[in-house]
């Protein structure tokens, strides 16, 4: 059991204060900090703090995969940590994106390797062979676009905006089955030539302004998000695409699960995110980064997904709340610890524990660690059970391999 020092990723959409405040560092930071990676991804592994300095978790796992990961994890997922835990801080919207399935990732990686595209190339889509299902749980109020909205509700939104230029697209969406209509409309919009976007996007934004001055409140959030995206990315096809997605607001502790092919864009907030150990992203807009529309269209799932379907069911047993997802590579739990009352964590697989609130003492295998909010701990599979004792309404998130693995 060792303290874990995460890797900070700086992207333009990040925050100069949120992650720094979370980890107890001075603010504002020189650059926007977007993600804190806690895992063993080759692109940016976390480091274990040891008596002799610091060791890469990637190298520690490679040196003893059975001891660090456990025989069950190695048998199913190989000798790499199968999950990646992150803290994500968004001050601005992320790109419109989706992630591939396992087969799509394997095929795409092989294809780009054969084509000689360097792993660090800005036009590389597949940086590893893994799929990337992900679960995000809000630490503060967190806003996102995720999953295609029911087409009937989207038609209502179009009509509420009262933009004449949207009329043919209403007919395109309403005249087919749900998935076919969404595929046809999204494909049409995402491939519109720039001169057409230069006309349609401003017209839709004008409709949003008019709508917000009306008495109708049903789509206020969608209209505001539309204007925010239009201000940052004028005449971007992703602005139009945002009209097709569910707009979600997560309160602290609430989570959503995003399977392969789910189109999404995080908008704002601080969250814990756990995913299969991958960095494969296919973008369709709302970003200065590489966009590959044909590849995105190939992996998207156009089936409508309701907000209720995206929200993750939780099961609470004492201090532990489990977030239930179908993912095999990871499982996430939250521990809300009463002052001074010990809670035992008996999971046998590899564990990363992240304190998000208060102070916690961890005892296990003859060793003890004290951590505060913003600190994390690595517990290997052979580390045995761990007892958590909290102070100041402590809260700890634990990522591990799915309990059935």
| Catalytic residue IDs | 283
To 10 degrees, the CA torsion angle through 136, 142, 145, 147? 40
134 is known to lie in a ligand binding site = yes
Phi, psi of 101 (to 5 degrees): -75, 175
State the DSSP code for 382: G
d(CA 40, CA 82): 9
Q: Which residues contact 77 (CB under 8 A, 6 or more apart)?
A: 69, 328, 329, 401, 405
To 10 degrees, the CA torsion angle through 298, 196, 146, 170? -100
Q: Which residues contact 201 (CB under 8 A, 6 or more apart)?
A: 230, 234, 235, 236, 239, 240
222 is known to lie in a ligand binding site = no
357 is known to lie in a ligand binding site = no
State the DSSP code for 150: P
Q: How many residues does the chain have?
A: 405
d(CA 343, CA 148): 40
d(CA 333, CA 381): 17
309 is known to lie in a ligand binding site = no
d(CA 123, CA 117): 8
Strands (E), 77-195: 83-90, 96-98, 134-138, 142-148
Residue 195 to residues 12, 169, 199, 289: CA-CA distances in angstroms? 27, 17, 7, 21
- CB contact at 8 A, 247 and 143: yes
To 10 degrees, the CA torsion angle through 13, 14, 17, 22? 150
Kindly give the residue spans of alpha helices, DSSP state H, lying in 175-219: 178-190, 194-212
Q: Which residues sit in the known binding site?
A: 97, 99, 134, 264
Q: Which residues sit in the known binding site for Zn(2+)?
A: 97, 99, 134, 264
């Amino acid at each position: 059991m060792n303290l874990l020092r995460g890797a900070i990723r700086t992207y333009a959409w990040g925050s100069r204060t949120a992650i720094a405040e979370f980890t107890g560092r001075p603010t504002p930071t020189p650059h926007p900090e977007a993600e804190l990676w806690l895992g063993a991804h080759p692109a940016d592994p976390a480091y274990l703090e040891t008596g002799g300095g610091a060791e890469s978790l990637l190298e520690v796992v490679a040196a003893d995969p059975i001891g660090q990961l456990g025989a069950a994890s190695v048998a199913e997922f190989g000798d790499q940590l199968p999950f990646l835990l992150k803290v994500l801080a968004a001050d601005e919207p992320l790109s419109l994106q989706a992630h591939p399935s396992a087969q799509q990732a394997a095929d795409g990686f092989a294809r780009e390797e054969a084509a000689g595209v360097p792993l660090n190339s800005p036009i590389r889509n597949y940086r590893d062979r893994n799929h990337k299902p992900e679960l995000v749980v809000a630490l503060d109020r967190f806003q996102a676009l995720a999953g295609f909205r029911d087409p009937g509700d989207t038609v209502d939104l179009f009509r509420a905006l009262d933009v004449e230029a949207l009329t043919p697209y209403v007919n395109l969406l309403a005249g087919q089955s749900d998935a076919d209509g969404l595929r046809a409309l999204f494909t049409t919009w995402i491939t519109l030539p720039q001169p057409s976007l230069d006309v349609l996007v401003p017209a839709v934004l004008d409709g949003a302004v008019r709508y917000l001055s009306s008495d109708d409140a049903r789509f206020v959030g969608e209209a505001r998000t539309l204007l925010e995206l239009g201000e940052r990315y004028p005449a971007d096809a992703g602005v139009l695409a945002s009209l097709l997605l569910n707009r979600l607001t997560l309160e602290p502790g609430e989570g959503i699960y995003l399977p392969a092919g789910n189109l999404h864009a995080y908008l704002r907030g601080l969250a814990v995110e756990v995913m299969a150990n991958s960095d494969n992203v296919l973008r369709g807009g709302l970003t200065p980064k590489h966009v590959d529309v044909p590849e995105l269209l190939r992996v998207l799932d156009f089936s409508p997904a309701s907000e209720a379907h995206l929200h993750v069911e939780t099961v609470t047993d004492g201090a532990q709340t489990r977030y239930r997802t179908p993912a095999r590579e990871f499982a996430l739990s939250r521990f809300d610890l009463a002052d001074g009352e010990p809670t035992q964590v008996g999971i046998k697989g590899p564990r990363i524990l992240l304190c998000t609130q208060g102070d916690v003492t961890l005892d296990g295998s003859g060793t003890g660690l004290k951590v505060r909010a913003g600190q994390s701990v690595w517990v290997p599979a052979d580390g045995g059970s761990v007892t958590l004792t909290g102070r100041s309404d402590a809260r700890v998130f634990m990522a591990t391999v799915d309990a059935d693995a």
